[in-house]
Structure 1
């Protein structure tokens, strides 16, 4: 059977078990087959269009057996040309796990660390950000974001100062619900923001209305969270085969189908789906390879899921 006709689960079945071994990722993504990179507008730096979210998936504490598969995930990410790893103090032990494993693998220099401040008050924010940097073993944080806009005016003053001192390279703001999009848009219009992180999926497209065009116009990089709508997209296509026309934009799984729709919007800098499985990381990276859907494809994609 043609691989484009298989579901995400079936398409990955044959390689799933082997991906847990540390030697396997090289077979899945050749280092000569690197994913597309897009520019961070405020500096011109290029980052891979597929990254990694760590909510729930990396919250494993010091459990060595649970950490082992996560090493493979990080290794696949880097070997495929990805770099962005997004975390938060809200995500339990995820920051610490990312820091420990990236150091063990010797890939810290290959990663683009992104985390968040999620508290109220100036000193509380400073203390939390310092703790995050220690956990992730970062002397300079690539991207520090204000999580869900909590006390954003206070933290933004601190981050402006930290950026000037070289403690952070980029400043960002985040949210995960549609009703916050207007606030995000107002802030990127009025403040010096490098990144905005927003919920966006083929099912949840409110960001397309105004926020993404504004981010593009203002030169703000975009990270997208909840690209699979909390997993509901996979449930929607369960048991269904991919249509043959997805080969026109080099799509080989439903996961890539959902991510390629987002990446077809050139306002999107990087998608950050979370996973604890190396074979899913490899599949996600495939969304950044080859062609992307054109307008005609995007219309058919929406019709297919309507």
Structure 2
């Protein structure tokens, strides 16, 4: 278990601005904001370990009272060193809201923009892609993923065509529950990918058995969704104190702990929690700083939430 002395030493190294660190046995870099970053294996590009999702949180009307609040969420996100934002054309208009916000805030150049194909035919995918570019107000994206492995045998080749045309820089596949892990593993073994996106949390750690180690072995970047189990984890920890070692790891909230659990796995590139509240965004970003959790600490959490 890390001691306070270990934490202070690691923090001093961060403050010194060295380009590459190794904490909890894992190598990563530091962005200008102090946020920890990890490499995309296929390119070497560094991405901040705390990103953002848009499912639910960005499903609002542009003339609603929630819209200006989302603008503050994004302002805090980028000021704190965030880059990766994940969306989808079937998130209830969230991609159009995101596109409008990025344009209004002048944030598109700072964004690693990830979206998805969720279609059952080539024609549907082509129409959806055209709509995606309009909604996001862009001519290209950074990552195009096949949503929940839907029709992936047909849609993954199409995504690769778009990559070859320079319309996306990376391609990948996604899922969100344990039933998709076996197929995700098979795809990883047989298909060249830049990214996968999968769920991984203290109460749903099954991806660490095969999928995450395999992604690391294959040189595939990993986005993590549902790190809070869609908010259910917060109900489980209501009125519970943080573990005694949390402060020494720089953790001040359960949200930070759940996120740090995810990014502490060496295969994970970025975790993408969603929020529509600026104060929660600020809290979540703190998980991307300081030392990571040891294997023993991660196991303790898995045992606690099993």
Q: Normalization by structure 1: what TM-score?
A: 0.87
- Aligned residue pairs: how many? 276
1:49-60 alignment to 2 at 5 Å? 49-60=49-60
2:184 aligned with 1:184, yes or no? yes
SS of residue paired to 1:273 = coil
Query: In 2, are the aligned partners of 1:61 and 1:94 still within 8 Å (CA)?
Result: no
State the Cα deviation string for residues 132-166 of structure 1 (Å, max 9, x = none): 11111121111111101111111112111111110
2:174 corresponds to which residue? 174
2:302 aligned with 1:302, yes or no? yes
2:265 aligned with 1:272, yes or no? no
Structure 2: which 5+ residue stretches go unaligned?
Answer: 1-30
Query: In 1, are the aligned partners of 2:141 and 2:167 still within 8 Å (CA)?
Result: yes
Structure 1: which 5+ residue stretches go unaligned?
Answer: 1-30
2:121 corresponds to which residue? 121
1:164 corresponds to which residue? 164
SS of residue paired to 1:103 = helix
2:5 corresponds to which residue? none
Report how far residue 127 of structure 1 moved.
Answer: 1.0
Report how far residue 219 of structure 1 moved.
Answer: 0.6
SS of residue paired to 2:230 = helix
1:189-268 alignment to 2 at 5 Å? 189-268=189-268
- CA distance 1:181–1:68, change in 2 (3 Å): same
Q: CA RMSD in A?
A: 1.3
- Taking the aligned partners of 1:273 and 1:192, their CA distance within structure 2 comes to 26
Deviates more, 1:31-40 or 1:43-52: 31-40
2:18 corresponds to which residue? none
- Taking the aligned partners of 2:301 and 2:187, their CA distance within structure 1 comes to 32
SS of residue paired to 2:102 = helix
SS of residue paired to 1:261 = helix
- Taking the aligned partners of 2:268 and 2:108, their CA distance within structure 1 comes to 24
Larger % of helix: which?
1
2:130 aligned with 1:130, yes or no? yes
2:145 corresponds to which residue? 145
- Taking the aligned partners of 1:286 and 1:190, their CA distance within structure 2 comes to 37
Report how far residue 33 of structure 1 moved.
Answer: 4.1
